[in-house]
Amino acid sequence: MKAILWALFFTAPFLFAGCRTGVILKDTPLGISETRRTVVTVFGEPRSVSPNGRELYSKYYDKKGVPIERVELVKERFYTLVTILGDRRPYDIQVEVIQEERDDDGIFQVSDRDEAKAAPLAEKLKKALHQSLDSRNIIDDFRSF
């Protein structure tokens, strides 16, 4: 019995290491390019995009949501990470708000992931995705080739 408990104790961190954080929007109906376009309209032009185009990093902002003009003057900053999950439609979209704090060396380190701030942003994105779906013209958007 002790051996089983010890085995669980040592393997638990590896089991929970793969857990995702943030808010996940399930089964979004749009394609990747349309989803990226909607994310840009909601969060603004991204600071960076991953090579495969599925991770979009927003510009830095403070705890009130105001964009930061000069990053070198602040001690903490936030940014939103939007990740498109899945290999085909319908995609899941993960929205995370990540907090970074400056350490003694002046380097920003991730200090927290704030799900309370991610929830209203995810709801705003969800509404925009559905509005984008409603305004889409099926006949004009159809491409046979």
* Residues 6+ positions from 8 with CB-CB distance below 8 Å: none
Q: What integer pLDDT is reported at residue 135 of this predicted model? A: 62
Say if CB 115 and CB 23 are below 8 A apart.
yes
Q: What integer pLDDT is reported at residue 16 of this predicted model? A: 44
Residues of the chain with pLDDT under 50: 5-6, 8-9, 12-18, 140
Q: What integer pLDDT is reported at residue 95 of this predicted model? A: 97
59 phi, psi to nearest 5 deg:
-70, 160
CATH architecture, domain 20-135: 2-Layer Sandwich (3.30)
Cut 0.75: pTM above it: yes
Mapping DSSP to helix (H, G, I), strand (E, B) and coil, where does residue 133 land?
Answer: helix
Mapping DSSP to helix (H, G, I), strand (E, B) and coil, where does residue 108 land?
Answer: strand
Q: What integer pLDDT is reported at residue 14 of this predicted model? A: 45
Q: What integer pLDDT is reported at residue 137 of this predicted model? A: 53
For the chain, the structural domain boundaries read 20-135
d(CA 115, CA 121): 10
